[in-house]
Structures are given as structure tokens and as C-alpha cells.
Amino acid sequence: MNRKLLMTAATLTLMLMPCLNTKSYAAENTSINIEKTAQGYVNANTVNFRSEGSLDAKVYYTLDKNEDIQIVSKESDWTKVIHNNKTGYVYSKYISEKSNQVSNIDYKTMNVTATAYAGDTITSTGTTPKWGTIAVDPSVIPYGTKVYIPEFDKIFIAEDTGSAIKGNKIDIFMDTEEHCNTWGVKKIDIYVLS
């Protein structure tokens, strides 16, 4: 965790004033606010960095994917962040916290062709697909295997298959056809966890 020291304007003024025969105002306004922050990053292509947690708030500028930020707090759907020493707000779902944990999980890296699907259906393992479900070739990635996909910073579970899913191909379940079309077809690296 990083710590940021924030002082009120009055405190800064008092610190910078020469100590002449002046009355001390230290008891009136000397608040020092130490905010704990967590390291984070932008997980979307671009996001607006706003003055307040509202769509109506002024946009300072945009942040690009994987830009580092400091997370101050989460306030409803908005996250208060610090970027380049400026405090602002970003919609929460576009921010991820960096993990400081060291993990000894065994995994195998695979380069795959990733497509997406949506709809009301039942998977080949008998479950209802949801965000976090992927279709695989079970001879390559067995059913029930956990797969980490860095593009989403999420672990998915292999629960489905399809006639076109052969070899190093996966199909990611998404909530809408629109999301599927936006995703398209991509070559990505995935981590098959053991």
C-alpha cells in the first residue's frame, strides 16, 4: 500500500509563512489526511478520468488500457483514483487492483484463437453458461479446468464445447451478442491452471 499525504491549503500556507510576530492559527486548521491507496490499472481500452463520480462531471482526460493508477476508494459505481498526482474518478468496472500476492500455482501457457458466444442454452456439462464459462476442445483442455485470461483479468471454467471448437480454440460466453461482435476473433495467450 502506498500512502499519500494530503494537506489543506491553510496548512500549507502556515508552513510556508515566515515565523514573524504573527498569531499562530495551528489549532484552527491543521488537518492532515493520510489516505491509503492500492495500486491498480485501467482494464478497458480507454476510460474517462473525471472530476467527480458522475457521467455529467467534467472529463479531465482519458486513460489508456494498462495505465497505472492509485486506487483511493470505491464510491458506488465509481472509483476515486490518483493519476499523475491528480485525483479524479473512473467508472469502477474499468479499474482492476494489482495483486501483490505471490502464487505458486502450476500452469501451462497456450496461444489460442478466441471467439465468443451468447444466448440461452445449456452447456455440454449440463450447466447454464454465465460470464466465466468457456467452451473448449475437451481433449486439449479437460472439462472443469480453470483458465486464466489476462484480457479480462479473470479465471474462467471450461464447461462447454462446440462443433467448431477443435484444438487450440476457445469460445468465451458473454452476456450479449453485441459484446460477442465487439470481441470478434482474437489470438490470445491463456494460462491453463492445474
What contacts 8, CB < 8 A, 6 or more positions away? Answer: 29, 31
3-state SS class at 39: strand
Matching CATH topology for 2-15+29-97 and 107-193?
no
CATH code for the part of the protein at 107-193:
2.40.40.10
Across the range 171-185, mean pLDDT stands at 95
CATH 2.30.30.40 for the 2-15+29-97 domain, yes or no: yes
Give the C-alpha separation, 133 to 68, whole Å: 29
Predicted structure pTM score = 0.50
The pLDDT value recorded for residue 104 is 63
Segments making up each domain of the chain, as ranges = 2-15+29-97, 107-193
Look at 80 and 18; give whichever has higher pLDDT.
80
